[in-house]
Structure 1
Amino acid sequence: MRYLLRRLGFFVVTLWVALTLNFFIPRMMPGNPVDALRTRTHGRLSTDALQQLLTSFGYKPDANIFGQYVDYLGNMFTGRWGVSVGANLGQPITEIVAQALPWTVGLVGVSTVIAFVLGTLIGTVAGWRRGGVLDSVLPTVFVITSALPYFWVALLLILVFSVSTGGWLPHDFNYDSNLTPGWNGPFIVSVLVHAILPASTIVVTAIGGWVLTMRNNMITTLSEDYIRMARAKGLSGWKIMTGYGARNAVLPNLSGFAMSLGFVVSGAILVEYVFNYPGLGYLLYNAVQNTDYPLMQTLFMLFTVAVLVAVLVCDFAIVALDPRARAKA
């Protein structure tokens, strides 16, 4: 129980600090919503008119900073996220986020899980067959790919599989604009085809880290006494590799995987930007460009909560799976 309360207390304090930074950092950026809105209206509205317009949408440019902070905390915790004061002027933030969230979870979430599973499997086999052909080639290749920038890999895939092949795979948007969204075959196929290149970019750049860490964890685990005992009992190599080696070697990776799942909500901003994919990452980029405080604050809050919740769940999962962690708790 003490461990549970300690982790929950850490969660609350970290969330408060993150939300406080989330409030002040956008206000330290150059510009403000009034200037950004004046630019978009080409100066046709006076400053007073722009401030009245923003006030009607819930943004109070004349309020003191402490009052704005108190209102902000209350709105974040109660779900009153207001409306956009940027490119989607007047549209509720909840609607904007609801439209982008499924695309990010579907693309980045599935790609992250695929990268983790493949990286864990490859790392397990490479560590088990240490010094073999697989261990000599694949980890090195994937570690190199993981060091490549997202945007560079994305542009390379677009060049090879879209531009050079005459549009073999689409490289823009999330589905064919000629189709009507719905649960029908042509639309689903279009969504999957449009996701191939951005998903491949994420998998290629993310898998190397999982391969390397799992391989190293596996090598360390195979030197433990219980592995020697399993060999002495005459257990099969497959049983030792999966039931004794991989099962324990994967535990240190769970924290990293939990954080990766948390960052799914933020999306791979560069990937979504390069492919013009309408997820939360691309939404955040547009919010920053348009000085859209309400949207920026909501997105940062969602990203923070997603990461903290993922790490908290991971901590509890490790305690449940690892007797050594339970003893320390």
Structure 2
Amino acid sequence: MRFFLRRTAFYLFTAWAAITINFFLPRFLKGDPVSAYIAKNQGLISPDAAAALRTLFGLDKNQSLLEQYISYWKLLLSGDLGRSFSKGLAPVTDVIASALPWTIGLVGIATIISFVIGTTLGAYAGWRRGSKADALIPITTFFSTVPYFWLGLIAIAFFATTLGWFPASHAYDKGASPELTWDFIGQVINHGTLPALTIVVSSLGGWVLGMRNMMVTVMDEDYVTVAQAKGLPPRKVLINYAARNAVLPQLSSFALSLGFIVGGTLVMELVFSYPGVGKLLLDATNAKDYPLMQGLFLIITLTILVANILADVAYAILDPRTRQSEA
């Protein structure tokens, strides 16, 4: 219990710090979001409308910084992240919600597949070290060293242009509208296969190498030697003793990967013209849409915190020594 209480306090403090930084972020930038919006729409906004916009975005000059901070927390707790200037003053929550499922669906599934395949192959390569299984390391590492945009372009040239197996861009066919039908789901899978495949191939090497190295280290531990001396089946020794302990450091990396899923893979979304959060963040930055940038930063930060909390819980369950050392 003390372990979980300490972790909870740490993450609550981290979340408060992230939200506070998110509050001060637009105030540290030159000018403010409302001034940028007025400059973009010169002559179309009256002084009264500008004052109303500043009040709406918590930038009222008649309020002190502390009052603005309290107002920001009130809006945040009510689920209001402000209005997006580049999206016609649409609520930031709606704008992010429209892009979030595409990123989570594609990058999330690809990351999980990459982790499962890479960890499994790494465990096998470590268990059979010195055999032909070691050939997996240079092969997967080679693809990890290839720049992602180059790998994506090669995939498009070969699988989309030459063979015509998959579409080269977008999340679904042009002219189609998102709906819950088998035809539309098939379009999404067809368009998402190529970018998902490139994500898996490019990230596989890290998982394989990390798990393989940990397996080599764990195989020299006394508890593995004792398990083998007892005559336990090799598969049971591999799964219950060696792999279970070797996978622990992988969980921390996996948690960070899950957290960054929400941030999207910007290069992938640009190469494949995919409508995800990464592309949305780039568009918001180019348009100087501070409220949307602020909302995306907050969502990404909190998601990474949640992913780390889940990793800590899983780590504590799998390795009781963690709970004892923290206590």
The structure-2 alpha-carbon separation of the partners of 1:69 and 1:288, relative to structure 1 and needing over 3 Å to count, comes to farther
Partner Cα separation in structure 2 for residue 190 and residue 88 of structure 1: 26
1:92 and 2:103 correspond = no
Secondary structure in structure 2 of the residue aligned to 1:122:
helix
Q: Which runs of 5+ in 2 are unaligned?
A: none
CA contact (8 A) 1:255 1:314 kept: yes
- How far has the Cα of 1:147 moved from its partner? 3.0
The structure-2 alpha-carbon separation of the partners of 1:326 and 1:46, relative to structure 1 and needing over 3 Å to count, comes to closer
Among 299, 303, 306, the residue aligned to 1:306: 303
Percent identity, aligned pairs only, is: 45
- How far has the Cα of 1:324 moved from its partner? 1.9
Deviations 1:226-277 (Å, cap 9, x if unpaired)?
A: 1111211222222221222111111121111111111111111221122221
Normalized against structure 2, the TM-score is what? 0.90
- How far has the Cα of 1:65 moved from its partner? 4.7
What residue is the counterpart of 1:21 in the other structure? 21
1:9 and 2:6 correspond = no
1:33 and 2:30 correspond = no
Partner Cα separation in structure 2 for residue 134 and residue 47 of structure 1: 70
Secondary structure in structure 1 of the residue aligned to 2:133:
helix
CA contact (8 A) 1:123 1:213 kept: yes
What residue is the counterpart of 2:113 in the other structure? 114
Counterparts of 1:1-329 in structure 2, within 5 Å, are 1-29=1-29, 32-34=32-34, 36-38=36-38, 40-41=40-41, 43-45=42-44, 48=47, 51-52=50-51, 54-55=53-54, 57-58=56-57, 60=59, 62=61, 65-84=65-84, 86-135=85-134, 137-165=135-163, 167-328=164-325, 329=327
- How far has the Cα of 1:185 moved from its partner? 2.2
Secondary structure in structure 2 of the residue aligned to 1:276:
coil
Deviations 1:114-171 (Å, cap 9, x if unpaired)?
A: 0100110110011011121221x21122223223333232222222222344x54212
- How far has the Cα of 1:33 moved from its partner? 3.0
Q: Could you tell me which amino acid in structure 1 is paired with residue 160 of structure 2? A: S
The structure-2 alpha-carbon separation of the partners of 1:158 and 1:28, relative to structure 1 and needing over 3 Å to count, comes to farther
- How far has the Cα of 1:189 moved from its partner? 1.0
Secondary structure in structure 2 of the residue aligned to 1:192:
helix
The structure-2 alpha-carbon separation of the partners of 1:27 and 1:276, relative to structure 1 and needing over 3 Å to count, comes to farther
- How far has the Cα of 1:16 moved from its partner? 1.9
Normalized against structure 1, the TM-score is what? 0.90
Partner Cα separation in structure 1 for residue 8 and residue 186 of structure 2: 43
The structure-2 alpha-carbon separation of the partners of 1:155 and 1:35, relative to structure 1 and needing over 3 Å to count, comes to farther
- How far has the Cα of 1:60 moved from its partner? 3.1
Q: Which runs of 5+ in 1 are unaligned?
A: none
- How far has the Cα of 1:88 moved from its partner? 0.6
**How many correspondences in the alignment?**
325
Q: Could you tell me which amino acid in structure 1 is paired with residue 288 of structure 2? A: T
Partner Cα separation in structure 2 for residue 19 and residue 149 of structure 1: 34
Partner Cα separation in structure 1 for residue 191 and residue 262 of structure 2: 20
Deviations 1:55-82 (Å, cap 9, x if unpaired)?
A: 4753536465554433333323331212
- How far has the Cα of 1:223 moved from its partner? 0.7
